[in-house]
Amino acid sequence: MTDYHFVYKDVEGASTQWDDIQRKLGNLPEKPPAFKPPPFTPAPDPDSLPKDKDWLDSKNEDELEDLEDDLDDDRFLAEYRKKRLAEMKETAKVLRFGSVVPISGSDFIREVSQAPPDVWVVVILYKEGIAECGVLMQCIEELATRYPATKFVKIISTDCIPNYPDLNLPTLLVYNNGAVKGNYVGLRSYGRRCTPEGVALVLCASDPVLNDGQNRNEQSREAVIEGVRRKFIEKVVADHEDRDDDGSSSD
């Protein structure tokens, strides 16, 4: 004969009278509180949020475009929407680079000579296997990231200028509005050590070549130079501290 054993389970949190007596006597631990789910809080309706400056700031460009007809009754918000859209489009137009782009000889006129008048183009002529080219390339790659409103391109020297002597490598050419504005041959132009800061100072010595997209005028050039000088001083101090630490640890 099969023996069946049934286990009956009450609702969660329930207890018997016997259990309650045992808890009063201290023979059983306190009964845990019954589980209660957190109260339901519906997500805020985007359409119910107050339509103010902060509300517009939270919108992306596509969302601002879609709001054109919804803000006609609020002149301030309509004007602020136009301002935000203009800022976004200007930022997108300015921050269009940010890396060193390889080009070929057939690309040069389109990518460099015919670049828009408001764009400064820095061209590095190089060849693989030349150590000095690698040193300058590292500096240029860092500057390209730091100043995304400036266009940086690289091209193998003989693709750009046939029979260009390797002795002149690396060479930097600076273009603006279709004209050559600067020509820097070798590493000697940047001081005893070729650093991103040293290259930036040379590039901005007379023209606002480097731009981070915040300003597009002569004041921006001065800001770049001041920032570069500050970074240069910070690096010099850090190098001295590292040497001092190494000297003290070896004593």
250: its two tokens: 């070896």
Measured in degrees and rounded to the nearest 5, phi and psi for residue 210 equal -90, 135
123 vs 232: which has the higher pLDDT: 123
Q: Given a cut of 70, is residue 197 above it in pLDDT?
A: yes
pLDDT band (50, 70, 90) for residue 73: low
Digit-coded pLDDT (tens) for 152-175: 999 999 999 999 999 999 999 999
Coil, strand or helix at 172: strand
Q: Given a cut of 60, is residue 105 above it in pLDDT?
A: yes
Q: Which CATH number fits domain 100-234: 3.40.30.10, 3.30.2130.10, 3.40.640.10, 3.30.2130.30?
A: 3.40.30.10
Q: Given a cut of 50, is residue 218 above it in pLDDT?
A: no
| Nearest to 51, CA basis, from 42, 43, 60, 59 | 59
pTM exceeds 0.75 for this model: no
Distance CA 155, CA 143 (A): 17
3 vs 116: which has the higher pLDDT: 116
pLDDT at 76: 59
The answer to whether 100 and 140 have CB atoms below 8 angstroms apart is yes
| Bridge partners, 131 (sequence order) | none
Residues of the chain within CATH 3.40.30.10 domain(s) are 100-234
pLDDT at 32: 73
